[in-house]
């Protein structure tokens, strides 16, 4: 007599077990990608720039404002006006909160992408899962 007693389970069923403590994902076979010399432009400059697009847009806006105001008010006047505008943005809640929220979302989006790459969830063309918090 076996451990099941007089009852014999069907052969297609497996007894309940714990399984492996660490399950590895299936092996993905992808073709070898040979980068061209011009790919550094996309991988080294454009992709990181896209990740920091909000910060770069803000820096560009401040620089364009400085050049435009520098022609009309002079360098010192433009510097004073930009510092005053930055103080207003930092002190007034209804201007500070949307900017802080947008910068936080941008930071979280980059950290999510880094975490997905670290966990090997990114596809060979560097697509990552969409976070419900970032959408």
Q: pLDDT by residue (tens digit) across 66-101?
A: 999 999 999 999 999 999 999 999 999 999 999 999
Other Cβ atoms less than 10 A from the Cβ of 28: the count is 8
Work out the burial of residue 106: count CB atoms within 10 Å of its CB; fewer than 13 is exposed, 13-18 middle, 19 or more buried: middle
Q: What is the pLDDT of residue 4?
A: 59
User: How many CB atoms are located within 10 Å of the residue 65 CB?
Assistant: 14
Within 10 angstroms of residue 85's Cβ, the number of other Cβ atoms is 14
100 neighbors 94 (Cβ within 8 angstroms): no
Count of CB atoms within 10 A of residue 101's CB?
10
pTM for the structure as a whole: 0.64
Q: Would you tell me how many other CB atoms lie within 10 Å of the CB of residue 103?
A: 13
| CB of 30 closer than 8 Å to CB of 124 | yes
Residue 43: closest CA among 126, 130, 134, 132? 126
Question: What pLDDT is stored for residue 16 in this prediction?
Answer: 56
Predicted confidence band of residue 14 (pLDDT cuts 50, 70, 90)? low
């Amino acid at each position: 007599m076996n451990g099941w007693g007089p009852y014999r389970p069907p052969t297609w069923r497996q007894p309940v077990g714990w399984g492996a403590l660490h399950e590895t994902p299936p092996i993905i076979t992808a073709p070898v990608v040979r980068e061209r010399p011009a790919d550094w432009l996309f991988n080294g400059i454009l992709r990181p720039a896209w990740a920091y697009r909000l910060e770069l847009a803000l820096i560009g806006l401040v620089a364009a404002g400085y050049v435009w105001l520098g022609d009309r008010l002079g360098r010192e006047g433009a510097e004073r006006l930009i510092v005053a505008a930055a103080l207003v943005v930092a002190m007034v809640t209804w201007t500070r909160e949307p900017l802080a929220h947008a910068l936080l979302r941008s930071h979280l989006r980059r950290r999510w992408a880094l975490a997905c790459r670290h966990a090997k969830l990114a596809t060979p063309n560097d697509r990552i899962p969409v976070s419900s918090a970032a959408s």
